Amino acid sequence: MDAELPRLECGRFRLGADRIQNILWRLNNGELDGVNPKIVVLLAGTNNVGDTVPAEGDEAKVADITKGLQTVLDAIRSKAPTPPSW
C-alpha cells in the first residue's frame, strides 16, 4: 500500500495504537494544516475500547468514544471543510 501512495497522491496520517486523544492532539497541533484533501477517511475508536469497563458501565464508554469521534470529525471539518465525503 505504501508504494501506491505517491501514485495516488494521498497522505496517511496515522500511528499504530492511536487513540482518539492522540488523533485530536495531532489535529490541534498542525497535522492537517496546509492540506486540502479531496476526501477524508477516518478509522478510529477501536483502540479506545480496551478490555476494561469503567465504573459507569459500557454505555459510558460508548458515549465517551462517540463524543471523541464527533470531536475528531469537527476538527477535521474545521481544517478541511471542502471534501465531498461530508
pTM, to two decimals:
0.78
Collapse the DSSP code of 2 into the 3-class scheme (helix H, G, I; strand E, B; otherwise coil) and give the result. helix
Neighbours of 23 (CB within 10 A): 24
8 A C-beta contact, residue 76 and residue 44: no
Grid coordinates representing 45 are 475508536
Of the candidates 45, 42, 46, the residue with the CA atom closest to the CA atom of residue 80: 42
Give the tens place of pLDDT for each residue, 14-72.
777 889 999 999 999 998 888 888 788 888 888 988 877 778 888 888 999 999 999 99
Of the candidates 39, 36, 63, 47, the residue with the CA atom closest to the CA atom of residue 14: 47
Give the amino acid at 47. N
